[in-house]
Amino acid sequence: DTAVSQTPKYLVTQMGNDKSIKCEQNLGHDTMYWYKQDSKKFLKIMFSYNNKELIINETVPNRFSPKSPDKAHLNLHINSLELGDSAVYFCASSQAGYTDTQYFGPGTRLTVL
Amino acid sequence: TQLLEQSPQFLSIQEGENLTVYCNSSSVFSSLQWYRQEPGEGPVLLVTVVTGGEVKKLKRLTFQFGDARKDSSLHITAAQPGDTGLYLCADISNTGKLIFGQGTTLQVKP
């Protein structure tokens, strides 16, 4: 059974389009995260949600909007895609405790042309 | 803003060799974690260290946390091709926010 899953695995789109990436976890965790990994492999947190409530919101353009319909899902919607949005996006989840292990999904490689 | 610097950035060695990679922080770690990320996959947690001077072992991997809690090292004994991957250190804050270093890419050739 996949613990943290993301769809799609690959996403190729044109500048200016709007796209969504979905994330689901079946671990019963309370907290979910979105990270962005750039071409140099630098991994940076974007958002975190705890029980559907936004906890962390880094300095991310407001074109990025996370949505958590329930605590098992955290989707990422991106409006007006730009070339610089090309990256691998990882979803992760953990229990509520801050040192609890974060389990990462397999990533979504977004390419903006 | 805390900065984590990892060295070396790239390391290519033969199977059976030993290696050490380093992680240095511009400020004291809250708690330090090491992850390994294989190509096409997400990072996987290897270890969490909290106390200065702490040493943890995971099979052939030895993790050391500096006394001042501003640096850490990961030593691999008798590296195997399965150890190939991106090794990331991270500081984890009391909100669960992970701040990552830029990683060390390790290639172990058979």
pLDDT in tens, B54-93: 999 999 999 999 999 999 999 999 999 999 999 999 998 8
The alpha carbon of B96 is separated from its chain's Cα centroid by a whole number of angstroms, namely 18
Q: Do B92 and A33 touch (CB under 8 A)?
A: no
* A2 lies within 8 A of chain B by CB: no
Q: Which residue of A has its CA nearest to B30?
A: A99
pLDDT at position B1: 78
DSSP code, position A84? G
Closest CA to A108 of A55, A46, A30, A31: A46
Please check whether residue A64 is in contact with residue A3, taking contact to mean a CB–CB distance below 8 angstroms.
Answer: no
A-chain residue closest to B38, CA distance: A106
A56 interfacial to chain B (CB closer than 8 Å): yes
In this complex, which of A35, A42, A99 lies closest to B92 when CB atoms are compared? Answer: A99
User: Residue A13's Cα: distance from chain center in Å?
Assistant: 17
Write down the mean pLDDT value for chain B.
94
For range B20-45, the mean pLDDT: 94
Q: Rounded CA gap, A63 and A73, in Å?
A: 20
Beta pairing, strands B71-76 & B85-92: unpaired
Contact A99 B48 (CB under 8 A): yes
A100–B96 CB contact, under 8 Å:
yes
A98 with B95: Cβ contact below 8 A: yes
Query: What is the C-alpha to C-alpha distance for residues B76 and B105, in angstroms, rounded to an integer?
Result: 14
* Angstrom distance (rounded) from CA B15 to CA B77: 10
Q: Is the predicted pLDDT of residue B98 greater than 80, yes or no?
A: yes
> Which pLDDT tens digits describe chain A residue by residue (113 residues)?
669 999 999 999 999 999 999 999 999 998 999 999 999 999 999 988 888 888 888 878 899 999 999 989 999 999 999 999 999 999 999 987 666 789 999 999 999 99
Q: Which residues of B touch A42 (CB under 8 A)?
A: 100, 102-103
**String of DSSP letters for B47-102:** EEE-STT-EEEETTEEEEE-TTSSEEEEEESS--GGG-EEEEEEEE-TTS-EEE--
